[in-house]
Structure 1
Amino acid sequence: MERWKINLIVLWLGQFMVMSGMTMIIPFLPLYIQEMGIHDPHEVAVWAGLIFAANFVSSFIFQPIWGGLADRFGRKVMLLRSGFGMAFVMMFMGMAATPLHLLLLRLANGVISGFMPAAVALVSANTPRERMGFAMGTLQSGSVAGTILGPLFGGVLAEWVGFRPIFYITGGLLFAASVLAAFLVKEKFDIEQAKTRPKMSVFSGFRELIRIRQLPALYSVTFLIQFSILSSMPLIPLFVQELHGSGQLLAFYAGLVGSVTGFSNMIASPLLGRLGDRLGSQRILAIALIGTGLAFIPQAFVTNIWQLLASRFLLGVFMGGLLPSVQTLIRQYTPSGMESRAYSFNTSALALGNMLGPVIGGAVSGLIGIRGIFMTAAVLLLLNALWVRLSLFPRNQVQKTGS
Structure 2
Amino acid sequence: MIQASAFIDRARNLGYDFYAGVPCSFLTPFINTVIDDDRLTYISAANEGDAVAMAAGQALAGKRAVAMMQNSGLGNAVSPLTSLTWVFRLPILLIVTWRGAPEVDDEPQHELMGRITTDMLDSMDIPWEIFPDKESELDAALARAEAHQNETGRAYALVMKKDTVAPATLYNRKPPSQSRGAITFRPAPHKARNVPGVTRRSALAHLVAHTGIDNSVIIASTGYAGRELYAVADRPNHLYMVGSMGCAPLLGLGLALARPDLRVVVVDGDGAALMRMGAMATLAAYGPTNLAHLLLDNGMHESTGGQATVSAGLSFASIAAGCGYRTTYEGFVLPVIDQMLGGSSRGPAFAHLHIDPGVDKNGLPRPQHGPDEVRERFMRHIGATS
TM-score (ref. length: structure 1): 0.25
Per residue, is there more helix in 1 or in 2?
Answer: 1
Ranked by relative contact order (alpha carbons within 8 Å, sequence separation 6 or more), the top structure is 1
Per residue, is there more strand in 1 or in 2?
Answer: 2
